[in-house]
């Protein structure tokens, strides 16, 4: 049995309309969820395939950290998909600094967050004091590195150049992989 705690304002999203999201998690991950809507505590009990059930806590955690259920279900669609969370508050001195750093990660009109998504292929969400990324290990690693650059005070241009370079490397590796695989 696993326990995951999510923010109370995300419990409704986890349950879904008429319990639809909760049932879909239970069906697709072969688990049973016991959700305490008062405190955001979620108990996850494995029913069937333990490998598939391992993804259930990650799906719950992803929804709790601001991802839509559809994005969180990507974790089940491909065994290589993973969730990575960066605690922005760890890199912040106080609440004002946290707000400033979140703003830098989001960028003007959400541009920085969008570029992270476009150039890595990962889904990126900034919610509360965390930045979350869902993607392949390589994709989330690049998002994490770019986010850490920004959190450490690097100019946005440097982070964008880094993302462009990594995008081209990932694209090149993908082309090489396809060229020799078959």
* pLDDT, position 171: 80
Claim to verify: residue 96 and residue 59 sit in the same structural domain: no
Claim to verify: residue 173 and residue 86 sit in the same structural domain: yes
* pLDDT, position 174: 67
Claim to verify: residue 69 and residue 155 sit in the same structural domain: no
Q: What is the mean pLDDT of the chain?
A: 93
In the chain, the number of structural domains is 2
- pLDDT of 27 strictly over 90: yes
Range(s) of the domain holding residue 9: 2-77
Tens digit of each residue's pLDDT (9 = 90 or more) over 80-122: 999 999 999 999 999 999 999 999 999 999 999 999 999 999 9
Tens digit of each residue's pLDDT (9 = 90 or more) over 135-156: 999 999 999 999 999 999 999 9
pTM of the predicted protein model:
0.90
What one-character DSSP code corresponds to residue 47? -
Closest-CA residue to 57 (of 47, 45, 39): 45
Distance CA 138, CA 6 (A): 26
76: left (phi over 0), alpha (psi -120 to 50) or beta: alpha
Distance CA 171, CA 130 (A): 28
Q: What angle do CA 34, 140, 8 make, to 5 degrees?
A: 30
């Amino acid at each position: 049995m696993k326990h995951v705690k999510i923010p109370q304002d995300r419990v409704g999203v986890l349950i879904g309309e008429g319990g639809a999201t909760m049932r879909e998690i239970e069906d697709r991950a072969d688990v049973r969820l016991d959700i305490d809507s008062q405190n955001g505590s979620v108990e996850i009990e494995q029913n069937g395939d333990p490998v598939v059930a391992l993804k259930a806590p990650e799906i719950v955690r992803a929804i709790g950290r601001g991802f839509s259920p559809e994005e969180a279900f990507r974790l089940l669609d491909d065994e290589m998909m993973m969730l990575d969370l960066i605690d922005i508050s760890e890199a912040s001195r106080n609440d004002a600094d946290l707000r400033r750093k979140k703003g830098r990660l989001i960028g003007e009109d959400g541009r920085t967050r969008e570029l992270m998504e476009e150039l890595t292929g990962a889904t990126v969400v900034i919610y509360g004091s965390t930045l979350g990324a869902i993607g392949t290990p390589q994709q989330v690693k690049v998002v994490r590195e770019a986010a850490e650059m920004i959190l450490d005070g690097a100019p946005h241009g440097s982070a964008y150049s880094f993302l462009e370079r990594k995008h081209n490397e990932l694209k090149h590796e993908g082309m090489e992989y396809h060229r020799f695989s078959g």
